[in-house]
Structure 1
């Protein structure tokens, strides 16, 4: 799986679509709903069941990160499955605090 910055992926089990913002520092598998994602140009419709452990959903416009590898992806289309990298759930990236204005 070549997770280059700007590459687009979609879930194999729900409607979620993703864009890689920052690639991982190590090789691994990006998953949605417990199943590996597929390239955006894959013409197959989403099929199969979402793993209940990965059913929190993807929110459009939110960034998801895997702290261990540095992988960062952007939700381009919402879906029912949640994201994981090598089986470890990814977290929504928090907003950067703004500098204090004195």
Structure 2
């Protein structure tokens, strides 16, 4: 047998021998824990964004006018999307395949 075929066979044997209800429950628990951490981070970054927008709109940091505040809001939303939302959407944990 070729190396790739041997590795596929060994992988299949290990999956069959080690596929027990306890191991599946442990995998699902780990997946739920990772998803919880991911959700907490998402909420944290959203609160940081809302705080930044609250500072821009709720205070007199930019007393010059509404145009500057709108520009800062667009900048903050774009920066949030590029920096946090897109990478966190891509790296969202998924449940294990059974």
More strand by share: 1
Task: With the length of structure 1 as denominator, give the TM-score of the two structures.
Answer: 0.22
Which protein has the larger Cα radius of gyration, Structure 1 or Structure 2?
A: 2
Q: Which has the higher contact order (CA 8 A, sep 6+)?
A: 2
- TM-score scaled by length of structure 2: 0.23
More helix by share: 2
